Structure 1
Amino acid sequence: MAAFPAVAQSEWTKIRSVRSTVWSLASVFLITVALGLAISLVARNNVSDFTQDGVPFDATAISFIGVGFGRLAIVVFGVLAVGNEYSSGMIRVSLAAVPQRGTLLAAKAAVLGGLALAASLVTVFVAFFIGQAALGGSLSTTLGSENVLRAVFGTAIYLTLLCLLSAGVTVMVRHQILALAILVPFILLVSPILSIVPVVKNAVHYFPDQAGSAIMQVFPTDDLPYGPWTGLLICAAWTAAALLGGYLVLKKRDA
């Protein structure tokens, strides 16, 4: 029986040896920080365009504008980190070396989750501080302000959950192109479009990308039927379901 630490070490080696996964994780930082900086600079001179009646100016949300695209990059990272084994056929070697499929998937999830969380924490803190510096003293906020630290840490957890959800979906479909064809359009197009359709917009609140993003809100709104932490728990439930589905497929089907 393969020991979990040895399997985790093997998964770490696989991820860091594939250039595409490294660049996709690095792009999470670059996209999120660059867009956050750009929008913060614009917002400093056009405050009225970034405020709503009755809702205070959310300096944290402005610095996190890039998360909307950064989450796509972390989804790609999760898909590629798992899907490369299927596209190359190396999954057969992995399953031969580690017949305990639950151990293999748990090691993948642990390594992916650890990397995603570390990268996300660095990304959101850098994006926050750079964004606040760009906004300037009169508009900026601090980590000590109410709900700001929760939003910053919560955003990192949200990105990590999306990464693990993507990994679970990839294991289920066993093909990285198919996984990307499902996840990227869903987050980029399907979910935003359905959120403005009156008949289904209430149901869209419970989609993983929509629910998890509630943690990023510093000021409460009436748009959502739940609070920030509940939204994150909904996203976590989707992630757990995807990983469970991946385990069942991995256990019952050949590579």
Structure 2
Amino acid sequence: MAATQVVRSEWTKVRSVASTVWTLGLAVVVTIALGMLISALSKSEFDSLSRDDKLSFDPTFTSFAGMSLGQLAMIVFGVLVVSNEYSTGMIRTSLSAVPQRGTFLFGKIVVATGLAFAVALVTSFVAFFLGQAMLGSHKASIGDAGVLRAVIGGGVYMTLIAMFSMGVAAMLRSPMLSLGILMPFFFLISNILGNVSATEKVGRYLPDQAGSKIMQVVTPVDDDTPYGPWGGLAIMVLWVAAALIGGYTLLKRRDA
């Protein structure tokens, strides 16, 4: 089957599975709503901040506070897109129709990534503008230095989270196992490693912590991270590439 036919087939699959559409919708709502709430709270508490905290205040990054939860919905989306066929047994039919496993996985990743990026980019822009509206006089402008890069970067970050999850799901095949590893990893383990002094130098190289640097415009006063926004994004891309290569390798080697 030609690559274009595979892509068309995968697009039909994604649209026909209600759970994948709902998870993308949830990512949008959670990211925007929580970002607005945190931005409103930040505005009300700004005057009570210390001098250093005021200097380090990043209105752009504040409006993306909802991505910490929104990315969990993106993880679910990425996992379901790849592993749904394993849980239903449809993977045998799919691989019979498309015996070239690389083409099969490529089509699935391309369709899901394109959809995730379109949704994530719109979400990032909406979260930014509504978040800045909540911040009032403390807001940033899209034309300020580094802001447009951060807003587009927010969409790229969410997309890469979904892609990483697709790679892990391709390796593990089971949606429950994939989510059982990814959810605690991003929601708990990464935060713990990044906030404990003994492990923070390791935590900063995890995909979410490195990738989120692309959304920062103002560098905190006490930040000694050895890379900037683009360096952090490059680290995250390497994690994503490793996950996808691992998924492709295992898909080629084992039975359906």
In structure 1, how many angstroms separate the alpha carbons of the residues matched to 2:57 and 2:161? 27
In structure 2, how many angstroms separate the alpha carbons of the residues matched to 1:51 and 1:116? 38
Does residue 223 of structure 1 match 2:224? yes
In structure 2, how many angstroms separate the alpha carbons of the residues matched to 1:226 and 1:16? 39
In structure 2, how many angstroms separate the alpha carbons of the residues matched to 1:88 and 1:205? 37
In structure 2, how many angstroms separate the alpha carbons of the residues matched to 1:73 and 1:115? 14
In structure 2, the residue matched to 1:140 is 139
In structure 2, the residue matched to 1:124 is 124
Deviating above 3 A after TM superposition, structure 1's stretches of 4 or more consecutive aligned residues are 48-52
> C-alpha displacement at 1:48, in angstroms?
4.1
In structure 2, the residue matched to 1:236 is 237
TM-score by length of 2: 0.95
In structure 2, how many angstroms separate the alpha carbons of the residues matched to 1:77 and 1:143? 29
% of aligned pairs identical? 53
TM-superposition CA deviations, 1:114-161 (whole Å, max 9, x none)? 01100001101011111111211x111111001111110111111111
Structure 2 residue matching 1:195: 3-state secondary structure: helix
The total of aligned residue pairs comes to 253
In structure 1, the residue matched to 2:57 is 57
TM-superposition CA deviations, 1:78-104 (whole Å, max 9, x none)? 001111111001111110000000011
Does residue 151 of structure 1 match 2:143? no
Instruction: Report the residue type matching 1:93 in the other structure.
Output: T
In structure 1, how many angstroms separate the alpha carbons of the residues matched to 2:147 and 2:204? 22
In structure 2, the residue matched to 1:4 is 3
> C-alpha displacement at 1:220, in angstroms?
2.4
1:109/1:51 CA distance change after superposition, 3 Å:
farther
In structure 2, the residue matched to 1:101 is 101
Contact 1:75-1:163 within 8 A present in 2 as well: yes
> C-alpha displacement at 1:57, in angstroms?
2.3
Map 1:153-232 onto structure 2 (within 5 A).
153-221=152-220, 222-232=223-233
| Unpaired segments ≥5 residues, structure 1 | none
In structure 1, the residue matched to 2:77 is 77
TM-superposition CA deviations, 1:197-229 (whole Å, max 9, x none)? 333221111111111011111012423110111
1:57/1:195 CA distance change after superposition, 3 Å:
closer
In structure 2, how many angstroms separate the alpha carbons of the residues matched to 1:93 and 1:50? 59
In structure 2, the residue matched to 1:16 is 15
Instruction: Report the residue type matching 1:241 in the other structure.
Output: A
In structure 2, how many angstroms separate the alpha carbons of the residues matched to 1:50 and 1:179? 40
In structure 2, how many angstroms separate the alpha carbons of the residues matched to 1:106 and 1:149? 30
> C-alpha displacement at 1:50, in angstroms?
6.3
TM-superposition CA deviations, 1:151-206 (whole Å, max 9, x none)? 10111111111101100100100100000001000000011111223332211111
In structure 1, the residue matched to 2:66 is 66
Instruction: Report the residue type matching 1:177 in the other structure.
Output: M
Contact 1:59-1:139 within 8 A present in 2 as well: yes
In structure 1, how many angstroms separate the alpha carbons of the residues matched to 2:43 and 2:78? 35
Q: Which moved more, 1:35-44 or 1:50-59?
A: 50-59
RMSD over equivalenced CA pairs, Å: 1.3
In structure 2, how many angstroms separate the alpha carbons of the residues matched to 1:63 and 1:173? 34
Structure 2 residue matching 1:46: 3-state secondary structure: helix
